[in-house]
Amino acid sequence: MAVAPLVIACGALASELRAVLKAQGLADAVEVMYLPANLHNRPERIVPELEPLLDAAADRHRAVFVAYADCGTGGALDALLERHPEATRLPGSHCYEFFSGTEQFEAIHWARSSSPTSSPSTSNHCSGKGSVSIGTQSFSISTSATTGEWC
C-alpha cells in the first residue's frame, strides 16, 4: 500500500492550506503536519524542526512537500533539502510571495519597507497563482479559494 505524500507546513498558513487542499480535492490524499506558527517569526528554528521530520519521511521513501519558501532561513532550508531529494518546497523567498506572486510581493515589500510597523504580512495581498508538486503529481493553485484576510 502506497504511503500518502506528506505536506509539512507553517502553522501560520494552516487556514489557507486547508482551503487550497479542499478546493483541489486533495484534503484526503495527503497527510498534513503543521509546525508551530511562531516559527514564522523565528526562521532560525525552521530547519531544526524540519530535519527530523524529513529524515523520518526519507526512511519511509515518502514524498514530501515543504510548505515554506526560504522564509528567512538564509538558504539553510535549501541546503537541508539538497540532502532530501524526496522533498520540495514553495518557490521564492517568502511564503507570502507564493500566494501573492513575486511581482506583487516585491511591490508591497518595497512600499512598506520604510515603515517599521508594516510588512507584507499585515496586508491582504492574496491574489496569486502558482503550482506545487507533491510526489509525482503537479497541481495548479489559485488562491482565490482563500479570499479574505489571511496575512
Q: What is the pTM of this model?
A: 0.68
Instruction: Measure Cα distances from 16 to 9, 131, 134, 135 in Å.
Output: 11, 15, 17, 21
Cα atoms found within 13 Å of the Cα of residue 76, Cβ hemisphere only: 13
Residue 119: its pLDDT value, please?
Answer: 41
Tens digit of each residue's pLDDT, the chain (151 residues): 678 999 999 888 888 889 989 999 999 999 999 999 888 788 999 999 999 999 999 999 999 999 998 888 999 999 999 999 999 998 877 766 666 677 776 777 666 665 444 444 433 333 444 454 444 445 444 443 333 323 3
Q: What confidence score (pLDDT) does residue 134 get?
A: 46
Q: How far apart are CA 60 and CA 3, in angstroms?
A: 8
Instruction: Give which of 99, 87, 92, 88 is closest to 19, Cα–Cα.
Output: 99
What is the per-residue pLDDT for 80? 96
Q: What is the pLDDT, as a whole number, of residue 104? A: 75
Residue 36: what pLDDT? Answer: 93
* Confidence at residue 39, expressed as pLDDT on a 0 to 100 scale: 87
Between CA 55 and CA 150 the distance in angstroms is 31
